[in-house]
């Protein structure tokens, strides 16, 4: 048996999107390359992962695009200089989910209402802060905010009616799936085109993103919003050869990964190259594989 390289990967709180992505990611890459032994670990999410990666306490970690942007540019947090990108995961369009019979139709209708924003240390909280600020709201002061210990605690509050809506995003996000499967059904509230323009005018790093039609039960049409791409990040000291093997395994496993997890259809090296904040943030081992397959010069 080949010697295995043990790799610890931080995800997020149970019931959220990062464990739903990270666990099959680890399994399929381990299957594709028998020298890899990726182990996932539940964490408090993006904010914890970015610090642990920069300090070298995690090998890999899932981090939202907003948290990565802040950390790289030292915006409201210490600058993270010892992180590198392995791959982009899936586009993430931020929006609210409400029960189908809810009286709320617009974001303005939710002002002052009890809103589940997600796990307190999640990157979704950071996205919510930017999106609401772009619309002239403070997500804590202008709403009745619910910040969770773990993302999976949110759906029961919406289903029971103790919260008006839950904030989140991305294809196949477990909390949204849990709400959408309620017999009463669910629907989304997202920024209008005019609101998207206002948000981007204030926070230009946010990109217009679209959640494809039929991403959730009862969702008949695509929904436009703003967001970014989360990343699988690595500590900068992860050996080049290990990063190269990760990129190669992901590339070779892309079709089978997409069969197992719908949102993994976007987890390509092409999307990684396009989503990276800067080329030099991509791990050198990943860039070497990209050049080998003719993707990068």
On whether both 192 and 237 belong to a single domain, the answer is no
Residue 134: band (very low, low, confident or very high) from pLDDT cuts 50, 70, 90: very high
Please indicate, yes or no, whether residues 186 and 280 belong to a single structural domain of this protein.
no
Same domain, 101 and 171: yes
Q: Same domain for 96 and 224? A: yes
Domain for residue 272, yes or no? yes
* 95 contacts: CB under 8 Å, gap ≥ 6: 167, 168, 169, 188, 189, 190, 191, 211, 223, 225
What integer pLDDT is reported at residue 139 of this predicted model? 97
Residue 77 lies inside a defined structural domain of this protein: yes
Of 228, 252, 281, the residue at which a domain comes to its end is 228
Quick one: pLDDT at residue 2?
A: 62
Do 166 and 94 form a contact (C-beta atoms < 8 A)? no
Q: What total of structural domains would you count in the chain?
A: 2
Domain assignment present for residue 297? The answer is no
Instruction: Note whether 133 and 48 are same-domain residues.
Output: no
Q: What mean pLDDT comes out for the span 272-277?
A: 94
Distances (CA, A) of 198 to 131, 135, 277, 293: 9, 7, 22, 40
Q: Give pLDDT tens digits for 73-82.
A: 999 999 999 9
Reported confidence tier of residue 1, pLDDT bands at 50, 70, 90? low
The domain that holds 134 is classified in CATH as 3.40.190.10
Residue ending a domain, choose from 228, 243, 265: 228
User: What local confidence, expressed as pLDDT, does residue 92 receive?
Assistant: 86
Domain residues for 141? 92-228
Residues 130 and 195 in one domain: yes
For 127, the token pair is 């996205």
Range with lowest mean pLDDT among 55-59, 207-211, 228-232, 238-242:
207-211
Q: What is the pLDDT of residues 195-217, one digit of tens each?
A: 999 999 999 989 898 898 999 99
Residues 105, 20 within the same domain: no
């Amino acid at each position: 048996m080949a010697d295995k390289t043990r790799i610890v990967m931080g995800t997020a709180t149970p019931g959220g999107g990062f464990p739903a992505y990270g666990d099959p990611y680890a399994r399929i890459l381990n299957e594709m390359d028998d020298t890899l032994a990726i182990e996932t670990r539940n964490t408090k999410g993006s904010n914890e992962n970015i610090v642990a990666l920069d300090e070298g306490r995690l090998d890999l970690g899932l981090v939202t695009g907003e948290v990565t942007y802040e950390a790289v540019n030292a915006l409201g947090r210490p600058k993270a200089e010892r992180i590198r990108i392995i791959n982009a995961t899936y586009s993430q369009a931020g929006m609210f989910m409400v029960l189908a019979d809810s009286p709320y139709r617009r974001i303005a209708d939710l002002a002052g209402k009890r809103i589940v924003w997600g796990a307190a240390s999640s990157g979704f909280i950071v996205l919510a802060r930017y999106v609401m600020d772009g619309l002239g709201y403070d997500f804590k002061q202008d709403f009745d905010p619910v910040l969770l210990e773990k993302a999976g605690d949110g759906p029961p509050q919406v289903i029971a009616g103790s919260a008006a809506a839950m904030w989140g995003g991305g294809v196949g996000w477990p909390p949204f799936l849990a709400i959408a499967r309620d017999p009463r059904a669910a629907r989304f509230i997202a920024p209008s085109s005019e609101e998207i323009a206002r948000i981007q005018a204030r926070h230009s790093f946010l990109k217009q993103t679209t959640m494809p039609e039929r991403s959730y039960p009862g969702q008949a049409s695509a929904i436009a919003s703003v967001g970014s791409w989360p990343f699988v990040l690595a500590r900068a000291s992860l050996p080049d050869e290990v990063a190269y093997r990760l990129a190669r395994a992901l590339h070779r496993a892309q079709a089978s990964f997409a069969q197992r997890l719908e949102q993994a259809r976007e987890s390509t090296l092409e999307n990684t190259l396009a989503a990276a904040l800067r080329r030099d943030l991509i791990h050198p081992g990943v860039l070497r594989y990209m050049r080998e397959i003719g993707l990068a010069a």
